Amino acid sequence: MSSYEARFEVWRGDVRGGGLEDFAVEVNDGEVVLDIIHRLQATQAPDLAVRWNCKAGKCGSCSAEINGRPRLLCMTRMSVFERDETITVTPLRAFPVIRDLVTDVGFNYAKARQVPSFVPPEGVGPGEYRMMQEDVDRSQEFRKCIECFLCQDTCHVVRDHEENKQAFAGPRFLMRVAELDMHPLDAAEEAGLDRGRTAQDDHGLGYCNITKCCTEVCPEGIRITDNALIPLKERAVDRKYDPLVWLGDKIRRRS
């Protein structure tokens, strides 16, 4: 087994401010960045705050930025970096810092609560639901989400624009709206809920200019932009310009 010493710059601080701190730390074959952060805790910085749980890319809690790119600490191999490279580890930029590498991701939970849940179809009981395999596959792709919020962190709409946060749910939750809007059994429309319209009016779909940055950082490989955001935009626009929908809206508004 070979080992070497790597140079790390790790952000230390809290809500009052902070900065990068230099470390030289041992790296062994097969290690990931989270191993190095744990070694720092064990040998040089026992009070370094970092959030993690599974170390297997499944809990979504070790999200941070490595050399400025949103990534999971536990899924980033040290072998992707040059041995003489200085590796920078900083907290997620789009969310407020609590301490060191730990941020307050409560924004995401607040947005999750704003998406109305699945509306069961009338007269069809659990166990009687039938769907085409392609509809199942689509939902399953979206449900691979581990809620790491790397897509939320990277999206330029909120990354440097705190003022957009109120109006914009972010890619993870627009994907949730898309999943429900395309769900063949969701009875939201019958219940008077237009998910396409809420995507525009309540969740800020119009802010998204399909840059695909969210897709690029998703550790689950979910094609957020192509399979959720673009179809959601198409469906919202189709509905807006559908003459029957327009007429129905007009009648509803009058009555």
Residues forming the site for ligand FES (CB under 6 A):
52-55, 57-62, 72, 74
3-state SS, residue 15: coil
Upper half-sphere CA count for residue 235 (Cβ side, 13 Å): 22
How many residues are recorded in the chain? 255
Q: Is 14 left (phi over 0), alpha (psi -120 to 50) or beta?
A: beta
Residue 255 site contact among ligand FES, ligand SF4, none (CB < 5 to 8 Å, cut-off depends on kind)? none
User: What are the residues facing 3 on neighbouring strands?
Assistant: 28
Alpha carbon 129 to its chain centroid, in Å, reads: 29
Alpha helices in the chain (DSSP H): 33-43, 106-113, 133-142, 150-154, 156-159, 171-181, 195-201, 213-217, 230-241, 243-254
How far apart are CB 176 and ligand SF4 at their closest, in Å? 9
Residue 56 is a binding residue for ligand SF4 (CB under 6 A): no
Q: Which of residues 156-175 bind ligand SF4 (CB under 6 A)?
A: 157, 171-172
Pick 58 or 212: Cβ nearer ligand FES = 58
Pick 48 or 146: Cβ nearer ligand SF4 = 146
Residue 52 site contact among ligand FES, ligand SF4, none (CB < 5 to 8 Å, cut-off depends on kind)? ligand FES
Residue 74 site contact among ligand SF4, ligand FES, none (CB < 5 to 8 Å, cut-off depends on kind)? ligand FES
The label of the residue with tokens 């952060």 reads 37
Stretch of 2-10, 24-32, 78-86, 144-152 contacting ligand SF4, by CB under 6 A: 144-152
Pick 66 or 187: Cβ nearer ligand SF4 = 66
Considering all CA atoms of the chain, what is the largest pairwise distance in Å, rounded to the nearest integer?
76
Residue 150 is a binding residue for ligand SF4 (CB under 6 A): yes
**Interface with ligand SF4 (CB under 6 A), residue from 107, 225, 227, 232:** 225
DSSP state of 4: E
Pick 45 or 75: Cβ nearer ligand FES = 75
User: What are the residues facing 22 on neighbouring strands?
Assistant: 9
d(CA 177, CA 171): 10
How far apart are CB 63 and ligand FES at their closest, in Å? 8
Upper half-sphere CA count for residue 225 (Cβ side, 13 Å): 14
Pick 86 or 114: Cβ nearer ligand SF4 = 114
How far apart are CB 178 and ligand SF4 at their closest, in Å? 11
Please report, as ranges, the residues that interact with ligand SF4 according to CB under 6 A: 145-151, 155, 157, 171-172, 208-214, 217-220, 222, 224-225, 229
